[in-house]
Each structure stands twice: as C-alpha cells, then as structure tokens.
Structure 1
Amino acid sequence: MTLDAYIADPANRFATVALVDTNGLLRGQMVSVKSLKGILKNGMGMAPAQLALDPTDEMLEMPGVTDGTGDFHDDPLIVDPATARSIPWAKPGHDMLVLTNYSGDTAQICPRSILKKVLERAAAHGLHPKYGMELEYTLFDETPESARDKGYRNLKTATMHASHDLVLYQTVQSDWYEALSDMCGPLKIDLAKMHEEIGGGFLEACIGAGEGLEPADQLILLKNFIRALALRQGRSVTFMPRWIETADSQSIHLHISMKDATGKTLFHEDGARNGISQTFKYFLGGLQKYIGDVSLVFLPTVNSYRRFAPGTFAPPGLTWGYENRTTCFRVVGHDEGSLRVENRLPGADTNPYLTVAATLAAGVAGIIEKIEPQPEVLGNGHANKTEGGPDYARSMPEAIARLRASDFARDWLGERFVETFSATRQSQHDQFAKKVPDVELMRFFDLG
C-alpha cells in the first residue's frame, strides 16, 4: 500500500515515522494519520542528539550537539514516501512504516542523507551503482535477560556446531528461516539467500542487488527486524563482529557493480583478463587508495577490531583478487550481468548507509582520478601478504586519526561528518579505556 492510500483510508489510525541512527538502529515515533499529513508537509522534529547515542543510549561527545555548545533542539526529519511498507505482526491500521532523513544542517551528519549525496555525486559523473549486501549474525536460544544473567558467557547458540551450508541444520531450523522469510514480505525486503555459516548459531541473510537507497534501506530493516523476530521468539541475536574469542568474525559484505546512464555495464570488457575492464581496475585502485582513510566507517566500535585476531578469516590487508576470499576486495562473476566487487572489510556492526557511501566514494574517486590498483593477489592472501601494501587501520585510535587527517573523507563524506563521527568514536574509545576486563583480572590479579 502506498503512503497516500494508507492516509486516505479512514480505517487507518497510526504510522511509525523512523530515522536510522549512526549505529543503524531505527528510532522514531508512532504518529496519528492526522499528524502524518502535517509531517509530510513540514517534517517531524527530532533532536540531532539521536545521532550521538550508542546502542544502549550512552550519550557520546559530539561537537555542537552534545558538548557545552549544544542546546538539544529539534531539526526536521523529511519523510521519503517511497519507503512506505508494513510492519510485520502489527494490526491493520497501525502497521505503516516510513523512513526519513534529516534536512538542513543535520543532513551533514545523517547517514541516509550522506549516502544520498554520494549517489548523486556519482550520478553526476555518469556512474550508477548496483549493489547488494550480505549480513552475518549469531542466533541464540537465550533471552536478553538470560544472556545478561550468564555474564554473556557459556551462551546456548541455536546450533551446537559450526555448520557452513549444512542442510541438516537448515532443516532443523526451518521455523526460523520460514519466519524470517515471512517477515520480509510486508517489509519489502528482497531476501535473496539464507544459510548456515561457520560457527554455532552463525547465520547469513543476503539482500538482492538493487539501485539507489533501496538496498541499504532494506538491510537496515533486515538488521532491526531480525532482532525483533528473535525477541518475539524468546531468543536473541548479536551483530557484534566478535562476541566471544572462540567465534569467527561477523561481517557485512557489500557487492557493487557499475553502469552508465544508459544502463550499460562499466565493469565488464570482452576479451579482458577475467572480463575486468579498465574502469573496473580504476574502481579497485580507488578502493585500495582510500578505504584505509575511512576504516572507522567499516570498524566503528571498540569490538570491531577483535575481528583481526590471528586465525580469523578477516581480510589480511586492502588486497584484491579474482574469486579470492582471502583478499579484502574479491572480484566475483563471469559476465557483464554478474561481474562485481565484494568489499569484505565492513563488520556486522557497521551502518549500511555509511558502508555503501564510503565504498562507493572510494571507488568512484578511483575512476575519476584513474588510479591503477596494486597487483592482483594470486593464491592465499593470508599466507602471501605483501609487506608495505595498502592497509586499513588496525586499532580504533589509528582509525580515528586517519579519518581526521583525510582530505578524501572531508571531500566525499563532508567536514561535519568527519568532525562529529570521529569525536563520537573517540568518546566511545575513551569510555572503554577506563574499563578493566574480566580477563585482565583473571590473568593479573593474584600474581601479576
């Protein structure tokens, strides 16, 4: 049902107007249909401080918003009518959901507005991306309360063993998979694939490729409503990149191809090695040159950096290779309809809008500047890592410093975004630096 049709039906009473925060969480309000009519004309006020919150509403330091100069005013959210969809499980007349983004000055730090700006800038150069995303998560037979009572240790995962693509566990968990599929219908999520991954309870769900803001909108909805589905079943999920030291890392993998304004593919060239065009090579060159500058976008929490402990399957550096999962930028596909690059750096804790924006910006900059990539990695990229090659930040302080120093990030993502995002991540890092982890007490309390 369209938004106009929903408003026109006198049986409908309420709708949810939602904003996506920096963490990728939906925040919003249920408003009456009568109020929604006014919101469509004038916007809905919401404090920019929403973008300074950590997931459990810990207020982070954001210059001009939550520091000594902030007045906690409201700025208008603008409804995007094209995002109208139904909330699963809600009663008719209360089930409309629409997404928004900030307007005015706050648009400079609004993730959805930033992606919109990058897409428009790419289009001005005749570049139109098509992209899809894979989301990894772990499902637990624990409620949030039982997990907390256990200190988040010795948790019961939905399956006991690692089970990559194991049909046995997919069959045993058919209730979960079917409920997830049913949930995606009213949410207009193009759910392309679901399967078991490489750990107990470790699962993956994939969004079909699309254009514009839509695939990122869908992944936002998928992340939020997967969590809702689990809670409704008395279970829980986590998107932490590394929730326990024995688990492998959890990621969001982003697949991108490129067309021109006429719809012609730009990444494939007949007769070229593996079909990789020169334009595609420039895109890869841009990824290698600039992704390191924006590591903080892909690794936004203190937990993000746990992915890179020895023995995990995280990328060894900003390398690329054809059909090579041991590189960061994996070229996938065999013809003009399938050839694309997969960015394997983002953790599952990233904001999809920012992940797409930063990846697209780096690649498009490579095309504009005609940046040649480093040589392709052949064989195992973990065993054959080239010393001195382009790399991402390996710690949060390094990632913060690189973002702040990046002319590329300021140009493509904006001065204000660089200032505020780096400040909130510094605030998070400082808060956790004060903590004493249990493992340190166990190692050093008695004899350290």
Structure 2
Amino acid sequence: MNLDELLDQNGCKFATVAMADTNGALRGQMVSRRSLAGILQSGMGMAPVTLTLDPTDQVLTVPGITDDTADFHDDPLIVDPSSVRRIPWARPGHDLLFLSTYGGATSGICPRSLLGRVLDRAAAAGYQPKYGLELEYTLFDETPESARAKGYRGLKTATLHPSHDLVLYQTLQSDWYEAVAEMAEPLRIDIAKMHEEIGGGFMEACIAAGSGLEPADQLVMLKTFLRALALRQGKSITYMPRWSEEADSQSIHLHMSLKDAAGAPVFHDAGAEHGMSRTFRHFIGGLQKYLGELTLVFLPTVNAYRRFAPGTFAPPGLTWGYENRTTALRVVGHDAGSLRVENRLPGSDTNPYLTVAATLAAGMAGILAEIEPQPEVRGNGYTQAPATDFHRTMPEAIAAFRDSALARDWLGEAFVTSFAASRQSQFDQFRAKVPDVELMRYFDLG
C-alpha cells in the first residue's frame, strides 16, 4: 500500500509530524491532510532552537543557535514516510504520526540524523548492527500535581516493596501491563518482555532486537507514550536515573551484535573462548577504549551522575565479563544468533539515537584499529578496581567529550560543539541553585 492509499484508507484529516529532540522527547505539530502533502514533498519548518531545550523548555546556550549570533530561523524537517504509526486513543483520521529528521545545517546536530550517518558509515565498512534496548522506569500512584505538592518527597510508588520479577506484583498490575501491550500495537513497538525491577514501582520494558533506525525509533515512542498512558490513568512516570536517595539507579541497557553485508553474524567463533570471535573482541576493545570519552552521551544530565552513588547496582567501571552483571560491558549469549554485548552504562534519561550511535562508533573504531580488550573480569566486579573508567562528574565528561577525536570523527564537529555547550549550560544553571539538603545541613549550624 502506498502512502496516498494509507491516508485515504485512514480517512486522514490531520496527522502529527514529530521529531526527537536532544533529550529523546518527541516534539512536533498536527498538520492537515492538505498541508501534509506539501510537507512530504518539501519538509516542514522548525527552529533549531528546539534541539536546545531542556525537558521543561529551559533554553540552553548553544553557539549559533541560542547565543547573541542567533536569528532563530527554521530548517526543514524531512518526513520519513516509512515511519508512519497510529497514536493510541486518537480517532481514525486524526491518529497518524510520522517521524522526521532535520535537513539543512541542523541535520548535523539532529539525533536521528546522526544515528543514520553512523549506521551508513558502519555499512560502508561492511557491518550492520542488530540491537535491542531495555528501558527502566518508575511508576507512581501520583499525578504530576500531587508529586509537585509533596515536593517530590514521600511519593507513593505503584508497588510498595522491591519486587524483582515478582509475579504477585505483575499480576496485581495486570491492567497496566495489558494497557502497555495494547498501546504498543498501533505504535509498532515490538515489546519483547516486561517485568518488575528492584524497587517499589520500578519496572522494565524491552524492545526486541532489530536493525537500522527502527529499535531506537521504537524506544523514543515507548518513552513518550508510556508517560502519556500513565497521565491518562492519573499516574506518573519518571526516567530520572536517580529520583530518590532510597531508590536504586535506572538505566537504558543496549544489546548489540554485528552482521556482515550478507547478513551473517560476525561476533561468534565456535572454537574461541565464550564463542567470541576476533571481531567481537576488537569491538569490546573499542568500547573499553572510547566509551570514557563519550561518557556525556550516556550520562547527559546533572542527575545522571547520582546514579553511581555507593550501593547502587550501576557499573563500577569500563570492565567486561561473560554473563557478568557486575561489569559495564556484559557479554551475553551462546551461539551465532544470540551472542552480543550489553552496554550497561547509559542512564534511563539518555537519548536512544545518541546511545546507539556512540556505542556503535566506539565498537567500530575498535574493529578498524584491531584493539584488544583488557582481561575479562571474573567474579564480582565491584570488588575489583577497574583498569579503565568513565567520567564520574559532569564537568569532566564535558571536557573529555570536547577533546574526543573519536566523537568529532564519528558524531561530527557540529554535534560535539553543540552538545557539549548545551550540557555545560545545563550544569551552570544547576550550579547556581541551592539544594534543600544544603539548607538542612548548613543553614542553622554550618
């Protein structure tokens, strides 16, 4: 069925044209069927300033876009017709949604465009990734208004106790799980599994492995519409990596393997230890060598660094191990079809397009340079000092990202400059704040 036939069959009157901002949130506009015809041909104008906004529309300083040289012009959003989906709860004729990417100069800092370029470069080298993503989140029996009224303290989570894989709580929340599955179908989100995690209201949903932009597209959709579902039910969701000092850390875990141009898996060698081919080892070597420089992509907010407080189940360093969850890079699987690496570094507030692009870039650099990984961690990685680490503070991560030759090569000069500037702007805004905990400790007697 071609696009015109789809629009006719749907009785399309209005459709949503959306793009993912730097935070991974969908932003867009509803356009009429008549306007959509022109947009599909020529694009839809949207100001690049959209990519400089924090979630609550705090404008971050980015050279040439929001500084004193900015003119706040539009660049075109180029619609991807193959991305069309249906929005749950919307009536036919108003429910179609199209994803788009920036054209013009803004394509250099557009997350979806950036992943497309990294995928193309990997393909030119003879490789195509197969990847899936796991999203952790916390569900609350609170509206945004009630959470704000409580100062975001003492919130009621959807379940009371930590309950990893507890069928009791999954059964208790069957309405939620069933609503998520029903919501995912028109959005073309291929959910492989859902389950309870290690905290009250703490849950996980996993996108099945796929290729190209599709799994990242699906996770962007999932993050947006999970939150919409919660709001429709009088609940709320957070993707903050650490929303409370009593809560464990929240992540997005990325599972990735590679195929050659003919579609054959390249990570498996039946005669090697753990079945890991030389190509796979070099991919791991690249991750260990370069993920530290790319920390800012995986930990993009002030809150993200709180995830690594002592006692949380967050990675202890850029270590790797076979079926070892106490390492940042967990090798998983046992045959050509299942062997892969799990990148456990990204926080749950990361942008899926950027997370996939940075991981693929680092691994590909390892393959091309034939970088050998450090020795495997055996046993508990938390009791062993890592030979290589990521950056533990935002200023260090910003500086490393700005200086990264790999980031400039694979992700582009424009993106490195703009992303580092936006993160510095976010950090500066928060540095000017006085947290409640400082008042409680120092106001009277400090």
Q: Deviations over 1:316-367 (max 9, x none)?
A: 0000000000000000001000000000000000000000000000000100
Aligned match of 2:396? 398
Confirm or deny that 1:34 pairs with 2:34: yes
The answer on whether the counterparts of 1:3 and 1:84 sit within 8 Å (CA) in structure 2 is no
The answer on whether the counterparts of 1:2 and 1:84 sit within 8 Å (CA) in structure 2 is no
Q: Deviations over 1:178-224 (max 9, x none)?
A: 00000000000000000000000000000000000000000000000
Query: Which residue of the other structure, out of 385, 408, 428, is the alignment partner of 2:426?
Result: 428
Aligned match of 1:216? 216
Identity %: 72
Shift in CA distance, 338/71, structure 1 to aligned 2, threshold 3 Å: same
The answer on whether the counterparts of 2:80 and 2:98 sit within 8 Å (CA) in structure 1 is yes
Confirm or deny that 1:226 pairs with 2:226: yes
The code of the aligned residue for 2:16 comes to T
The answer on whether the counterparts of 1:140 and 1:157 sit within 8 Å (CA) in structure 2 is yes
Shift in CA distance, 9/34, structure 1 to aligned 2, threshold 3 Å: farther
Q: Deviations over 1:102-158 (max 9, x none)?
A: 012100000000000000000000011000000000000000000000000000000
DSSP 3-state at the match of 1:131: strand
Structure 2: distance between partners of 1:4 and 1:253: 38
DSSP 3-state at the match of 2:381: coil
Shift in CA distance, 10/411, structure 1 to aligned 2, threshold 3 Å: closer
Deviation at 1:7? 2.7
Q: Deviations over 1:246-269 (max 9, x none)?
A: 000000000001100111110000
Structure 1: distance between partners of 2:443 and 2:256: 49
Structure 2: distance between partners of 1:323 and 1:272: 16
Deviation at 1:2? 6.0
Q: What residue ranges of structure 1 are gaps of 5+ in the alignment? A: none
Confirm or deny that 1:440 pairs with 2:438: yes
Deviation at 1:12? 1.8
Structure 2: distance between partners of 1:225 and 1:271: 45
Shift in CA distance, 399/10, structure 1 to aligned 2, threshold 3 Å: closer
Structure 2: distance between partners of 1:414 and 1:261: 25
Aligned match of 1:111? 111
DSSP 3-state at the match of 1:382: helix
Structure 1: distance between partners of 2:99 and 2:379: 44
Q: Deviations over 1:61-94 (max 9, x none)?
A: 0110000011000000000011001000000000
Deviation at 1:9? 4.2
Confirm or deny that 1:185 pairs with 2:185: yes
Q: What residue ranges of structure 2 are gaps of 5+ in the alignment? A: none
Aligned match of 1:411? 409
Aligned match of 1:359? 359
DSSP 3-state at the match of 1:207: strand
Shift in CA distance, 248/10, structure 1 to aligned 2, threshold 3 Å: closer
The answer on whether the counterparts of 1:15 and 1:96 sit within 8 Å (CA) in structure 2 is yes
Structure 1: distance between partners of 2:357 and 2:445: 49
Q: How much is the aligned-residue C-alpha RMSD, in angstroms?
A: 0.9
Confirm or deny that 1:53 pairs with 2:32: no
Structure 2: distance between partners of 1:336 and 1:11: 45
Deviation at 1:10? 8.0
Runs (4+) off by over 3 Å: none
Structure 1: distance between partners of 2:72 and 2:357: 27
